[in-house]
Amino acid sequence: MTKTEGLALDGITIRLGGRRLIALDAQVGRGEVLTVMGPSGSGKSTLLAYIGGFLDPAFEAEGSVRIDGSDLTGLAAEDRHAGILFQDPLLFPHLDVAGNIAIAIPQHSGSRRDRRRMAEAALADAGLEGFGDADPDTLSGGQKARVALQRVLMSRPRLLLLDEPFSKLDAHLREQTRQMLFATARQAGLPVVLVTHDEADAAAANGRVHRVGDS
Ligand code: ADP
Ligand code: MG
């Protein structure tokens, strides 16, 4: 039997109160992006919750989630290793910028100081050298998005789930942030599921588009 590389979503169906929100079968190779397009309320965030393993029990759902051939469906969220980015970068206000990245580095990766150094190196990779000691509130929207991405990568995810992560950025930054995110995912060989209501996101993602709701 051949082992499928990347993310395989088979026979996913999600219902709420008997009404079907989502029906999806898809393969997302490493570095590829599957875009799920639909209006607000169509079930996009719900789909990501199912893939990530944190679906609210109010929903009825079935279907399998596999990564590189291994079945995640029965696993708890923390054992699935899905990296998630939301509309808001949600940086911890009580930690400095490097601290926000270091917190995602597994403790066995090194001493506190080693982890701090890894966080500083990740910041440099993201074009944010020297921002380690800064208060996250002083960063621009685009800079916060880059910190959130570095944090998620530090947790060594096996797949990336993006919940409208560009929708709060202005047009220029949105384009830049998209390119950076997709390039990073490609480089890291991560399958990506992007949910959005913005057609331009789908175009930039340059992959398969699955439509939900009445879009
Ligand atoms: P989208 O992300 O596409 O805007 P959601 O996945 O958030 O849509 O929501 C899909 C539907 O499920 C909506 O009708 C929403 O009101 C409902 N919903 C979302 N979360 C819950 C929940 N925890 N319990 C019950 N209904 C919910
Ligand atoms: Mg949503």
Tens of pLDDT, residues 144-188: 999 999 999 999 999 999 999 888 888 888 998 899 999 999 999
pLDDT of residue 215 exceeding 60, the answer is no
Residue 161: inside a domain = yes
Residue 122: inside a domain = no
Q: Domain containing 27 — which CATH number?
A: 3.40.50.300
Q: Which residues line ligand 1 (CB under 6 A)?
A: 16, 21, 38, 40-46, 56, 58
Residue 17 Cα, ligand 1 centroid: separation in angstroms? 11
Q: In the prediction, which pLDDT does 168 show?
A: 85
pLDDT of residue 1 exceeding 50, the answer is no
CB 68 within 8 A of CB 43: no
Residue 125: inside a domain = no
Residue of the CA atom closest to atom 25 of ligand 1: 58
- Cα–Cα distance for residue pair 108/67, rounded to 1 Å: 24
Ligand 1, from 46, 162, 163, 164: best to mutate by most atoms within 8 Å of Cβ? 46
Q: In the prediction, which pLDDT does 3 show?
A: 57
Residue 76: inside a domain = yes
Residue 45 Cα, ligand 2 centroid: separation in angstroms? 4
Cβ neighbour number for residue 204 with a 10 Å cutoff: 20
**Residue 152 sits in which domain range?**
7-91+139-211
Residues whose Cβ atom is located within 5 A of ion ligand 2: 44-45
Residue 74: inside a domain = yes
C-alpha to C-alpha distances, 163 to 84, 147, 201, nearest whole angstrom:
8, 16, 11
Residue 107 Cα, ligand 2 centroid: separation in angstroms? 32
In 3D space, the residue among 54, 91, 77, 88 whose CA is nearest the CA of residue 164 turns out to be 88
Q: Indicate the SS3 state at residue 7.
A: strand
Residue 127: inside a domain = no
The average pLDDT across 18-35 equals: 96
Average pLDDT of the chain to the nearest whole number: 94
Tens of pLDDT, residues 75-117: 999 999 999 999 888 899 999 999 999 999 999 999 999 999 9
Atom of ligand 1 nearest to the CA of 49: 6
Pairing of the two strands 59-67 and 209-211:
unpaired
Q: Tell me the residue type at 60.
A: E
Percentages (nearest 5) of helix, strand, coil residues in the chain? 35, 25, 40
Residue 52: inside a domain = yes
Cβ burial 14-39 (10 Å sphere, 16+ → b, else e): beeeeeebbebebbbebbbbbbbbbe
Pairing of the two strands 209-211 and 33-37:
parallel
What pTM was computed for the model? 0.94
Of residues 169 and 190, more confidence is placed in 190
Counted domains in the chain: 1
Residue 33: inside a domain = yes
